[in-house]
C-alpha cells in the first residue's frame, strides 16, 4: 500500500507512476533484524534509470541473497521534488517507501558527468549530509560505481566508497564486509572496505598540487593504484531474467540480453571501449534460454541484444534467426540497438529482425578518411554508401548519421569532406545528421587532448548548418557546445571541482543533462565564485609526462599503450581489433589475468 502522505502528492504531479513503485517483479523485503538494505540510486528521472541494464543486474544479484535487500530510487522531477520539500517528505526507496536515510547503503550510478548535481539533490532530499566528512555513524554509507567512477575525483568528497569496473561481484563482497563489521564504526568499516580489490575509499587519500596549480600526486593510507573489477566469463547468472517491468513508457522498455561485454574495435575517443576490456561473449544457448524465461516473467513484447557493438557477436549469424523464430510466435520482436556501418549489418537487421523500417542509424563518427584514421574508426565512405544503398533496397525510408566534430586535428577540410559525404548519402536516402562535440575522456588515448573552445565548436556547427541549409534531403541537429564543455571539464577534473559542484547545486543547478534545465550562466557563476577557471580543465593540452588526477584509478590499461595509440592517431595509423586480430598490448589481459572470450573466432 502506498502511504497516504505519498499518495496525497501523487495526484498533483506529472507521471505519478515514477514515484509509486509496486511494479511487476518488484522485490519487496520488509525490514528485519540483520537484513542489510541498499538503495540503488540513479541520479536521473525514473524513465532513464529504469532503462539501465546495470541497475537491473545489481538489483538481481543483491536481492538473490537472503541477508541483503536492494530497493530503487530515482531523482524526482522538480515538480515532485518541490512538493516533497513543502510536505517535509524525505526521499524514499520505491519498494518499501522507507526513507533513504534509514538504509545501510545508498549506491549511486555514475553514468554521466552532468548528473553530478542530481546526486547532491537526491542526498539533500533524503536529509543525508552531502559530504562524506559530515556524515555521522547513523548515516548510510554513500557509495558509487559506473563508468565515471574511473575519474570520480570531482565527486570524491561526496562518496564514502567507490567501486571500479563491473559491480556484480564486488557489491556482494562490499555488503558481506559490512555485515561482518556491523558493530564497527564508520572509519573502521571504510578501512576494511579499502582492502577489497576494486574499492576506492577517497577519504583515505589526499591530492596535492604544484605551485603552478597543476596536479601533482595522490598519496594515502590505502592501496595504490586501485584496479578495476571484472567478470571473467559471462553466463546465465549475469542476465536479469525477471527485471522490474515499469507501468509507464521508459526509454528502453524491453528485455535486455547482454550479448557480450567489452569492445576492442579500439576507437580512440571511446572511453567505454577502453575501460570495459576485454571482449567476453555470452554463449548463444544462454541467450536463447534467457530470452524465453524473461518473456514469461515480464510479458515484454521486445527483446534487445545489447552490447557496445552487437553485430560483432561472433555467433550472430546463427543466433539471430533462431532467436527471432522462437519469439515471433509469442508476438515478441527482436531489436538491435547498435548497427555497424556495413551492408552485412543492414542485411542482418532487415532480414531477420522485424523492425520498423522507418529509419536506420549509423555512426561514421568522422567525415573524412584522414580523421577516421586518426580515431581508428575503420570505416570508409564506400562502406557507408553501400550500407545505405542496401538499406534503401530493403525498404528503409531514411537514415540517421552520427558524427563528432572537434576531434583532435580536425580542420575545415575535414568538415568539407563531411559535407560531401553527407550529400552523397542524401542522394540515396534522406538523412538526419547529428553532431556531438568531441569530449576528451580519461583512460583514452585522447586524455591529454584539449577540447576546442565553445566559440570554435559553435563556428564549426554554423559552418555545417549553412552547408546543409539548402539541401532538403538533409536535416541537421547538433548538441549544445556549452553542455559538451562542462562534460569535458568534469571528465578530466580533479578534486578541486567538488566545491564547484556543490556551489552550482546551491545556485539551483540540477538535471543539467536536460536542455530545459541546463543553465550555462549558473555554472559559470559557480566556477567564478569558487575561483576556478573551467577552461583550464577542458581546453588545455596536458603534457604526456604530467601525472594525471586519475592515474591511481586503473582500468587495467597500460599508460604506454595509451601513449602509443595517441602517436598512431597523429600518424593516422590503424590498430586492429584484438578479438579478431593481433593483440594490441593494452595491458588488460595480463594485468587482470583474463582473456578475450568469444564463442567463435571473430571475423574482421
Partner 1 sequence: MRLWLKFSRRDSLSFISHLDAHRAYYRLFRRAGLPLAYSQGFNPHPVLSLASPLPLGFISRADYLDVELSQDMDLVEISDRIRSSSGGDALRLLDGTAIEGRVKALAGMLSFARYSIELAGDEVRATQACQAFSAAEVALFTKQTKSRVLQLDAKELVRELTCHENVINAVLSLGESRVFRPDELLAVMADVAGCRLDSRSITREELYIGDNTLHTPLEWAKLERG
Residues making contact with partner 1 (CB under 8 A): 1-2, 7, 10-11, 16-17, 20-26, 245, 247-249, 295-301, 330-332
Closer residue to partner 1 in complex, CB, 97/514: 97
Helix, strand or coil for residue 333? strand
Closer residue to partner 1 in complex, CB, 290/407: 290
Closer residue to partner 1 in complex, CB, 24/187: 24
Question: Nearest distance from residue 46's CB to partner 1, in Å?
Answer: 12
Q: What are phi and psi of 387, to 5 degrees?
A: -60, -40
Sort residue 439 into left (φ over 0), alpha (ψ -120 to 50) or beta: beta
DSSP 567: H
Closer residue to partner 1 in complex, CB, 27/499: 27
Burial of 182 (0-12, 13-18, 19+ CB in 10 A): exposed
Question: Nearest distance from residue 304's CB to partner 1, in Å?
Answer: 16
CB 219 within 8 A of CB 16: no
Question: Nearest distance from residue 504's CB to partner 1, in Å?
Answer: 33
Question: Nearest distance from residue 17's CB to partner 1, in Å?
Answer: 5
Closer residue to partner 1 in complex, CB, 31/299: 299
Count of other CB atoms within 10 angstroms of residue 583: 12
Question: Nearest distance from residue 248's CB to partner 1, in Å?
Answer: 5
Angle of helix 116-126 versus helix 78-87 axis, rounded to 10: 20
Closer residue to partner 1 in complex, CB, 213/299: 299
Closer residue to partner 1 in complex, CB, 51/436: 51
Closer residue to partner 1 in complex, CB, 332/532: 332
Before 181, cis peptide (omega within 30)?
no
CB 512 within 8 A of CB 524: no
Angle, alpha carbons 476-478-479 (nearest 5°): 165
Q: Identify how many contiguous H helices and E strands the chain contains and give both numbers.
A: 21, 19
Q: C-alpha distances in angstroms, 277 versus 264, 526, 602?
A: 7, 37, 16
Question: Nearest distance from residue 243's CB to partner 1, in Å?
Answer: 12
Q: Measure CA of the first residue to CA of the last residue in the chain; give whole Å.
A: 55
Question: Nearest distance from residue 604's CB to partner 1, in Å?
Answer: 40
Closer residue to partner 1 in complex, CB, 300/344: 300
Give the C-alpha separation, 205 to 381, whole Å: 49
Question: Nearest distance from residue 72's CB to partner 1, in Å?
Answer: 13
Closer residue to partner 1 in complex, CB, 22/31: 22
CB 374 within 8 A of CB 571: no
C-alpha closest to that of 445 among 216, 589, 215, 266: 266
Closer residue to partner 1 in complex, CB, 245/576: 245
Before 225, cis peptide (omega within 30)?
yes
Burial of 412 (0-12, 13-18, 19+ CB in 10 A): exposed
Give the C-alpha separation, 181 to 176, whole Å: 9
Question: Nearest distance from residue 139's CB to partner 1, in Å?
Answer: 29
Helix, strand or coil for residue 54? helix
Amino acid at each position: 500500500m502506498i502511504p497516504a502522505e505519498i499518495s496525497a502528492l501523487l495526484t498533483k504531479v506529472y507521471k505519478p507512476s515514477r514515484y509509486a513503485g509496486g511494479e511487476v517483479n518488484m522485490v519487496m523485503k520488509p525490514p528485519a533484524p540483520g537484513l542489510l538494505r541498499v538503495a540503488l540510486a540513479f541520479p536521473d528521472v525514473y524513465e532513464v534509470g529504469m532503462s539501465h541494464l546495470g541497475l537491473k543486474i545489481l538489483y538481481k544479484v543483491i536481492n538473490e541473497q537472503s541477508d541483503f535487500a536492494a530497493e530503487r530510487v530515482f531523482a524526482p522531477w522538480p515538480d515532485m521534488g518541490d512538493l516533497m520539500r513543502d510536505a517535509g517528505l524525505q526521499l524514499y526507496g520505491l519498494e518499501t517507501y522507507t526513507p533513504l536515510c534509514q538504509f545501510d547503503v545508498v549506491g549511486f550510478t555514475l553514468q554521466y558527468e552532468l548528473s553530478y548535481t542530481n546526486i547532491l539533490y537526491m542526498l539533500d532530499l533524503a536529509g543525508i549530509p552531502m559530504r562524506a566528512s559530515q556524515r555521522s555513524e547513523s548515516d548510510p554509507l554513500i557509495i558509487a560505481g559506473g563508468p565515471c567512477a574511473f575519474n570520480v575525483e570531482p565527486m570524491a568528497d561526496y562518496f564514502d566508497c567507490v567501486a571500479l569496473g563491473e559491480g556484480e561481484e564486488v557489491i556482494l563482497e562490499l555488503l558481506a564486509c559490512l555485515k561482518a563489521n556491523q558493530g564497527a564504526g564508520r572509519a573502521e568499516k571504510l578501512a576494511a572496505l579499502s582492502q577489497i580489490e576494486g574499492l576506492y575509499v577517497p577519504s583515505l587519500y589526499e591530492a596535492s598540487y604544484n605551485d603552478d596549480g597543476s596536479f601533482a600526486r595522490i598519496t594515502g593510507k590505502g592501496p595504490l593504484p586501485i584496479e578495476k573489477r571484472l567478470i571473467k566469463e559471462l553466463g546465465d547468472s549475469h542476465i536479469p531474467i525477471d527485471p522490474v517491468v515499469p507501468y509507464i513508457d521508459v526509454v528502453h522498455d524491453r528485455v535486455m540480453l547482454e550479448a557480450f561485454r567489452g569492445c576492442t574495435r579500439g576507437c580512440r575517443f571511446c572511453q567505454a571501449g577502453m575501460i570495459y576490456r576485454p571482449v567476453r561473449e555470452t554463449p548463444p544457448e544462454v541467450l536463447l534460454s534467457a530470452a524465453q524465461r524473461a518473456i514469461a516473467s515480464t510479458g515484454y513484447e521486445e527483446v534487445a541484444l545489447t552490447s557496445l557493438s552487437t553485430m560483432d557477436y561472433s555467433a550472430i549469424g546463427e543466433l539471430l534467426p533462431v532467436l527471432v523464430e522462437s519469439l515471433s510466435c509469442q508476438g515478441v520482436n527482436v531489436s538491435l540497438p547498435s548497427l555497424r556501418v556495413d551492408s552485412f549489418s543492414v542485411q542482418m537487421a532487415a532480414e531477420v529482425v522485424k523492425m520498423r523500417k522507418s529509419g536506420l542509424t549509423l555512426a561514421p563518427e568522422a567525415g573524412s578518411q584522414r580523421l577516421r584514421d586518426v580515431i581508428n574508426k575503420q570505416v570508409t565512405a564506400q562502406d557507408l554508401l553501400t550500407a545505405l544503398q542496401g538499406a534503401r533496397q530493403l525498404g528503409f525510408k531514411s537514415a540517421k548519421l552520427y558524427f563528432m566534430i572537434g576531434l583532435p586535428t580536425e580542420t575545415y577540410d575535414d568538415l568539407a569532406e563531411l559535407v560531401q559525404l553527407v550529400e552523397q548519402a542524401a542522394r540515396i536516402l534522406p538523412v538526419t545528421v547529428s553532431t556531438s562535440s568531441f569530449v576528451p575522456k580519461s583512460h583514452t588515448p585522447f586524455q591529454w587532448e584539449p577540447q576546442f573552445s565553445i566559440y570554435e565548436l559553435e563556428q564549426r556547427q554554423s559552418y555545417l548548418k549553412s552547408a546543409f541549409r539548402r539541401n532538403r534531403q538533409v536535416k541537421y541537429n547538433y548538441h549544445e557546445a556549452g553542455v559538451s564543455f562542462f562534460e569535458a571539464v568534469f571528465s578530466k577534473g580533479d578534486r578541486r571541482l567538488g566545491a564547484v559542484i556543490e556551489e552550482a547545486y546551491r545556485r539551483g543547478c540540477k538535471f543539467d543533462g536536460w536542455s530545459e534545465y541546463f543553465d550555462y550562466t549558473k555554472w559559470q557563476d559557480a566556477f567564478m565564485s569558487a575561483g576556478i577557471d573551467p577552461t583550464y580543465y577542458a581546453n588545455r593540452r596536458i603534457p604526456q609526462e604530467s601525472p594525471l588526477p586519475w592515474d591511481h584509478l586503473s582500468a587495467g590499461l597500460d599508460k604506454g599503450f595509451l601513449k602509443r595509440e595517441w602517436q598512431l592517431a597523429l600518424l593516422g595509423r590503424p590498430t586492429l581489433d584484438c578479438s579478431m586480430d593481433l593483440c594490441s598490448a593494452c595491458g588488460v589481459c595480463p594485468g587482470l589475468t583474463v582473456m578475450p572470450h568469444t564463442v567463435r573466432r571473430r571475423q574482421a
